[in-house]
C-alpha cells in the first residue's frame, strides 16, 4: 500500500529515529565524572537539551566533580554517586529514572596502576560491565554503548594495522580487563542482542582538558609548569595515536545514533596525530619557552613499564562510513589542552603523587 503524501514541513519535523537513526531519550552515563565521560557528557547535555542524562560515578580514580561544572544546574542533567559493581543501585537508577540508553565509560584506566592492582582492574572493568549489561537487559534498555579501547588488539606486529575483525591479544592487565569486558559484551550480543542492542567503540589514545595528571599529556604539562624534567619510560620510543576528546565525543554520538547493533567501531586519530612519547614531550616544550637546543636537558629516561606496547595503529573505515572523521589537528588539540590546564591551576587539590613517573612498580622510582 502506498503511503499518503507527507504534509508540508513534515520532513523538518521528523525525529532522528524516523530517518533510521537511534534517538536516545533518557541516558545513563557511567564514569561521567572522569576525563572522557565528563567531556562527552558536557557535549551531549549541551547539544541535546531535550534528552535527560544521569551520571553514575563512584568518584574514584580519575574522577573530579569539578569536571562537571559546565553543566551543573542544567535541567536535563543529574549526578548520582554510586558504584557500577552494585547491581541493586544500577537497577534502581535505570528503573526509577526510566532510562532507555546506557553509555558505559566507568573503568579503572591507568595502565601503570594495573600492574600494581590487576585484580581491581578485572573486577571493575570486566565484572562492572557484566553487572551493567545484565541490569540493562532486565530494565529493557533500548541501546547500550560500550566504551572499549584500541589496546584490546595488543601492539601492532610487522606493520599490521588493526581492523575491527582482528582478534584480541591484550598485553597488560588493563587491556586484558577491557578485552574481558568486550568478550562479555560479545556474549550478550550473540545471546540477547535482539532485546538489548549493543554498539562498541574502540578509540585510540584520547587527550584534552579534564584528564587526571597521572596520564601522559597532563603529567608533562604540569611537570613543565613546575620546571621538572619529563620522564620517558624506556627512552620514550613508544608511539601512540592521539585523538582530541571533542572529536571522540562526536564519534560516540555517531556510533550511538547510526551504529549497527552488534558491531564494534575503531575510532582512529588523524595520521598527523601519531607521535612517539618523546615527540609529544618536545611538542609541549615551546608552550613553556623551552627551545629546541635545550630540549634534551628537560628529558629524563626512567625504567620502562613492566610491559610497554610499541603502538596501536587502527584503521577506521567503518566509522568514516557512518560520516565521522576527526577534525582537530594534534597542534590545535595540544594548544587547547595546554591553555585549559594553565587556566585551571586549582582543578585538582593535590597532584604531586600523580606527577611521579610511576612505571607500575610498587614504589616510585628513585630517579624522581
Ligand X SMILES: NC(=O)c1ccc[n+]([C@@H]2O[C@H](COP(=O)([O-])OP(=O)(O)OC[C@H]3O[C@@H](n4cnc5c(N)ncnc54)[C@H](O)[C@@H]3O)[C@@H](O)[C@H]2O)c1
- Closest distance between ligand X and the C-beta of residue 75, in Å? 23
# binding residues, ligand X (CB under 6 A)? 30
268 sits near ligand X (criterion: CB under 6 A): no
Instruction: Answer yes or no: 166 catalytic.
Output: no
Residues in a beta bridge with 304:
none
User: Cα–Cα–Cα angle for 7, 10, 14, nearest 5°?
Assistant: 150
| 330-343 and 216-225 helices, crossing angle to 10° | 50
User: Cα–Cα–Cα angle for 82, 85, 87, nearest 5°?
Assistant: 85
Query: Which helix (H) or strand (E) covers residue 103, if one does?
Result: strand 101-104
Among 25, 26, 51, 60, binds ligand X (CB under 6 A): 60
Among 79, 115, 212, 312, binds ligand X (CB under 6 A): 212
Distance CA 314, CA 294 (A): 34
Distance CA 237, CA 227 (A): 23
Exposure string (b/e) for 316-343, b if CB count within 10 Å is 16 or more? Answer: bebbbebebebebebeebbebbbebbee
Among 61, 69, 164, 300, binds ligand X (CB under 6 A): 61
Q: Active-site residue among 22, 174, 207, 212? A: 174
- Residues 146-205 touching ligand X, rule: CB under 6 A, are 147, 149, 178, 203, 205
Instruction: Answer yes or no: 174 catalytic.
Output: yes
- Select 141 or 269, whichever has its Cβ closest to ligand X: 269
- Select 37 or 173, whichever has its Cβ closest to ligand X: 37
Q: Which of 145, 143, 151, 150 is nearest to 129 (CA)?
A: 145
209 sits near ligand X (criterion: CB under 6 A): no
84 sits near ligand X (criterion: CB under 6 A): yes
Contact 277, 240 (CB under 8 A): yes
Instruction: Answer yes or no: 150 catalytic.
Output: yes
89 sits near ligand X (criterion: CB under 6 A): no
Identify which range of 44-52, 54-62, 165-173, 189-197 contacts ligand X by CB under 6 A. Answer: 54-62
As annotated, the active-site residues are 150-151, 174
Residues engaged in binding ligand X (CB under 6 A): 30-31, 33-37, 57-63, 83-85, 105-107, 109, 124, 128, 147, 149, 178, 203, 205-206, 212
Amino acid at each position: 500500500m502506498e503511503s499518503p503524501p507527507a504534509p508540508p514541513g513534515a520532513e523538518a519535523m521528523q525525529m532522528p529515529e524516523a530517518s533510521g537513526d537511534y534517538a536516545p531519550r533518557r541516558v545513563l552515563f557511567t564514569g561521567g565524572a572522569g576525563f572522557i565521560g565528563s567531556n562527552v557528557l558536557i557535549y551531549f547535555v549541551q547539544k541535546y537539551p531535550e534528552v535527560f542524562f544521569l551520571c553514575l560515578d563512584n568518584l574514584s580514580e580519575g574522577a573530579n566533580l569539578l569536571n562537571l561544572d559546565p553543566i551543573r544546574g542544567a535541567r536535563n542533567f543529574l549526578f548520582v554517586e554510586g558504584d557500577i559493581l552494585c547491581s541493586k543501585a544500577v537497577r534502581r537508577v535505570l528503573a526509577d529514572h526510566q532510562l532507555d540508553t546506557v553509555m558505559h565509560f566507568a573503568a579503572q584506566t591507568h595502565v601503570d596502576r594495573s600492574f600494581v592492582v590487576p585484580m581491581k582492574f578485572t573486577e571493575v572493568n570486566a565484572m562492572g560491565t557484566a553487572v551493567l549489561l545484565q541490569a540493562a537487559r532486565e530494565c529493557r534498555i533500548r541501546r547500550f554503548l560500550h566504551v572499549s579501547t584500541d589496546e584490546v588488539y595488543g601492539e601492532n606486529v610487522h606493520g599490521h594495522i588493526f581492523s575491527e575483525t582482528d582478534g584480541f591479544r591484550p598485553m597488560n592487565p588493563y587491556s586484558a580487563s577491557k578485552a574481558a569486558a568486550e568478550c562479555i559484551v560479545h556474549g550478550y550480543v550473540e545471546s540477547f542482542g535482539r532485546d538489548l542492542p549493543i554498539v562498541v567503540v574502540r578509540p585510540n589514545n584520547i587527550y584534552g582538558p579534564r584528564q587526571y595528571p597521572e596520564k601522559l599529556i597532563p603529567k608533562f604539562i604540569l611537570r613543565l609548569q613546575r620546571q621538572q624534567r619529563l620522564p620517558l619510560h624506556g627512552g620514550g620510543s613508544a608511539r601512540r595515536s592521539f585523538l582530541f576528546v571533542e572529536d571522540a565525543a562526536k564519534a560516540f554520538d555517531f556510533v550511538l545514533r547510526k551504529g549497527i547493533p552488534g558491531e564494534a567501531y575503531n575510532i582512529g586519530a588523524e595520521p598527523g596525530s601519531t607521535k612517539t612519547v618523546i615527540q609529544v614531550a618536545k611538542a609541549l616544550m615551546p608552550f613553556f619557552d623551552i627551545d629546541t637546543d635545550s630540549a634534551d636537558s628537560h628529558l629524563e629516561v626512567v625504567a620502562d613499564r613492566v610491559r610497554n606496547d610499541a603502538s596501536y595503529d587502527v584503521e577506521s573505515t567503518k566509522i568514516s562510513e557512518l560520516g565521522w572523521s576527526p577534525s582537530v589537528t594534534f597542534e590545535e588539540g595540544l594548544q587547547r589542552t595546554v591553555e585549559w590546564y594553565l587556566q585551571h591551576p586549582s582543578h585538582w587539590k593535590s597532584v604531586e603523587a600523580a606527577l611521579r613517573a610511576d612505571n607500575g612498580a610498587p614504589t616510585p622510582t628513585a630517579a624522581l
